[in-house]
Amino acid sequence: MPLSSPANLICFAHRGASGYEPENTLRSFKRALELGATWIECDIRVVEDELVVFHDRTLGRLTGASGTLANLDLSTLRTLRVNGREPIPLLSEVVELLHNKARLQLELKASGTGERLGRYLTSLLEKGWDTDSFLVSSFDHDELAACKRIAPSIPVGVLLYGYPINTPELARALGAYSVHLNLETVTPKRVNTLHQAGLKVFVYTVNDSADIEAMRAVGVDGVFSDFPDRVLLTNPPKAS
């Protein structure tokens, strides 16, 4: 019997099971469900006032088209294919797919997404969804604050690229549930400081098995991975 059990990591399927399927598509989200994911991360932008799921500002890398997503109209958006195969989903289609199957970690990518997402999530709460079905994050903390103003009961996570010295205060000011750290910036001292401040610590993007084990050892609460099975299959079995 080990003296302390290894940490059970929450796994956020990053852009779905994007190590296996075209990222941020319904196919990728279905694959994540098949692999046992209970949390799915996706990236939120706006086209013609509609929330859509797409990572990049520009279209080239994912669809081969030129220009930016924000300048599209919805009918053109529907003709594009991610990796030549899969349509770009509306957020409402992703919500419908995942209802009662997995929770959603929504990352605000663009200006104006915070307020719109806040209104949309409020409408879902009015239809009976639970607040803990969602976690909203962003590198753009103004967008995060805008979402929190409109939908104060929805948990938010402060997404960071580096590690500002005032991170716990920043998280407190935003009323955050969690801090989302870049793998490069994780240290035991920072994890401990954030835990002491009552914050959950989630780390992106952790695909390598050695890194998954390192995150488990340092005691973070969860990781984002393109290969959710690599995290889920190495979690310790639940006590019966």
Residue closer to ligand G3P by CB (options 55, 141) is: 55
| Least distance to ligand G3P, CB of residue 131, Å | 19
Q: Is the CB of residue 70 less than 8 Å from the CB of residue 110?
A: yes
Residue 141 near ligand G3P by CB under 6 A = no
Locus of tokens 């890398």 = 61
Q: What binding mask, one character per residue, do residues 169-208 give for ligand G3P by CB under 6 A, x or -?
A: -----------x-----------------------xx---
Residue closer to ligand G3P by CB (options 55, 116) is: 55
- What is the length of the chain? 240
Residue 13, strand partner residues:
40, 225
Q: Enumerate residues 6+ apart whose C-beta is below 8 A from 219.
A: 7, 188, 191, 195
| CA 29 vs CA 19, 46, 91, 96: distances in Å | 11, 20, 12, 11
Q: Which phi and psi angles does 236 have, rounded to 5°?
A: -65, 145
Q: Is the CB of residue 28 less than 8 Å from the CB of residue 41?
A: no
Interaction partner, residue 143 (Mg ion, ligand G3P, none; CB < 5-8 Å by kind) = none
Token couple for 143:
């967008």
| Least distance to ligand G3P, CB of residue 20, Å | 16
Q: What binding mask, one character per residue, do residues 43-72 give for Mg ion by CB under 5 A, x or -?
A: x-----------------------------
Q: CA geometry: angle at 176 spanning 172 and 179, to 5°?
A: 100
Residue closer to ligand G3P by CB (options 121, 136) is: 136
| Least distance to ligand G3P, CB of residue 150, Å | 21
Residue closer to ligand G3P by CB (options 14, 216) is: 14
Q: Give the footprint of Mg ion on this chain (CB under 5 A).
A: 43, 107
Q: Kindly list the residues in this chain that would bind ligand G3P in the complex (CB under 6 A).
A: 14, 41, 43, 55, 107, 137, 159, 180, 204-205, 224
